[in-house]
Amino acid sequence: MQIPFQPEFFGISINIHLVLEYLAFFIAFRYYVILRRKSKDHINSGNRLSIILGAALGALIGSRLIGILENPLVDFSEENIIQLLNTKTIMGGLFGGLLGVEVAKKIIGEKTSSGDLFVLPIILGIFIGRIGCFLSGINEFTYGNVTTSYFGMDLGDGLQRHPTSLYELVFLIILFIGLQQLHKRANLKNGELFKIFMLLYFGFRFCIEFIKPNVFHVLGLSTIQLLCVICWLYYSPFIYQKLKNAS
């Protein structure tokens, strides 16, 4: 199979990344619905819907904003502006969704932690989307730097690059299994599973950004890495409490 993978259906070229992206949303939401039916949700249906809407709006804004900030020095031609407006990133979506949920909960007066039910569906959704990123090769800005390592792959430009999407797929499998077992066996408080997921996933993304060809840096860090630091600071009270309890 050649990458970028661009299948045709009745002579029409299919955007495999877009197809898998929509599929990721659909399957992740259906998985969430199944998990909610099987578990005891302490949040009533009306408030849960408000939280989902807050998450969706926050994710939409966050994904676009961080996507634009990844390359803020671009020439603002009409073509580039359209491309920027179509740029989005899961990292901005996750953190924006987190803030959207917090705002929604403030508005409706909901104090119960709401993130744990979303964890496994989110990981599944990211996994499906990353398959699309990998199959799109250099058509999606998720590829890695040129490398001479054994793991190098031609992603469509004739150069051996780090297949960072594949690295992430492996990580997501480990993360899914690990958090699933942690949720079953560990005595976690409500909301802690989501916090652990955010810290681990953002930690992984912080590290993998060092082997991606980012073009904009502040203090030697990319926009995504700066967002990772902000996430860690946001959860610093949780980290401190866990370290304190472990000592």
Give Cβ neighbours of residue 144 (< 8 Å, ≥ 6 apart). 161, 162, 163, 164, 167, 208, 211, 212, 213
Tell me the whole-structure pTM to 2 decimals.
0.90
The amino acid occupying position 52 is I
Instruction: Give dist(CA 143, CA 92) in Å, integer.
Output: 18
Give Cβ neighbours of residue 116 (< 8 Å, ≥ 6 apart). 183, 190, 191, 192, 193, 194
Q: In the prediction, which pLDDT does 80 show?
A: 54
Closest CA to 48 of 63, 33, 38: 33
What string of pLDDT tens digits covers the 247 residues of the chain? Answer: 678 787 777 778 878 888 999 999 999 999 988 988 887 767 777 888 888 899 899 998 888 888 877 776 555 555 555 555 556 788 999 999 999 998 998 898 887 776 788 999 999 999 999 999 999 888 887 889 999 989 999 998 889 999 999 999 999 999 999 999 998 887 888 889 999 999 999 999 999 999 998 877 888 899 999 999 999 999 999 999 888 877 6
CB 196 within 8 A of CB 182: yes
Instruction: Give dist(CA 9, CA 16) in Å, integer.
Output: 11
Look up residue 63 and give its two tokens: 């994904």
Q: If you search the block for the tokens 């949040």, which residue do you land on?
A: 43
Instruction: Give dist(CA 142, CA 214) in Å, integer.
Output: 10
Instruction: Give dist(CA 228, CA 215) in Å, integer.
Output: 17
In the chain, the N- to C-terminal Cα span, in Å, equals 52
Distance from chain centroid for Cα 21: 12
Q: Which residues pair with 153 in a beta bridge?
A: 161
Residues, the chain, total?
A: 247
